[in-house]
Amino acid sequence: MKLSNTKYSLLIKNAYTTSFGKVYCCDRFFVTEINEGVVFDINCSKELGELVYNYYGPHADLHAISNRVNNYSVSPTYWLHFYKNKNANQLKSVSFVYYNELAYLNAKLEKSFIKCKTECFKNLDSAINSILNIDKEKLPNTINSKCIKPLIIDRTS
C-alpha cells in the first residue's frame, strides 16, 4: 500500500517526485516508493542523497523505509556507492516493506550490503511503528509531540 493512501500520510512533511519515484519526508524518517521497472543505480543514489541531505541537513539521524509497491531492481554497486558518501553515517536503519516473495528475497540480499540496522516487514504499518518505537525510546518528547499526535483521527465530525 502506498504511503499516501494510509493514515500515516499525516506524518508527511514534504513529498518529492524524482526521476526514479516518490520520496516522502517525515520528521525522523523518509519513505521511498520506486517506480515500476526502474534500475536504482548510482545516478538514483546521488539524486536521493542530495534530496535527503538538502531536506534534513548534515546532523539528522535518519531511518529509511523502502516501500516496495512496484517491481524494480537495485544495481549491485548502489550500496557500495552509498557508503562512500560522507553523510552515510546519518542512516541509522533501513526497513524494507515487501508485498511478494521476490521483493522479500531481494531485500534479504540487499541487507548483506547494509552497515546499519535492517528489517523486513510485510506491511508499512509495522515498519513505521518500528521506527517510531526506536525514536520514542531515544527522544520521547520529540516523538510524542511530532509523530504520535497526528495519528489521532477524529471520526466524530
The partner residues of 30 in beta bridges, in order of sequence, read 25, 64
What is the model's pLDDT at position 136? 57
What is the model's pLDDT at position 90? 92
Q: What is the pLDDT along the chain (157 residues), one digit of tens a residue?
A: 999 999 999 999 999 999 999 999 999 899 999 999 999 999 999 999 999 999 999 999 999 999 999 999 998 778 888 888 878 899 999 999 999 999 999 899 888 889 999 999 999 999 999 999 875 554 333 333 333 333 333 333 3
Ordered domains of the chain (ranges, CATH) = 3-151 (3.30.750.24)
95 near 127, Cβ under 8 Å?
A: yes
What is the bridge-based pairing of β-strands 117-121 and 91-97? parallel
Cβ neighbors of 47 (< 8 A, separation 6 or more) are 18, 19, 20
Q: Model's pTM, two decimal places?
A: 0.83
Residue 57 burial (10 A CB sphere; 0-12, 13-18, 19+)? exposed
What is the model's pLDDT at position 133? 87
What is the model's pLDDT at position 85? 80
What is the model's pLDDT at position 154? 32
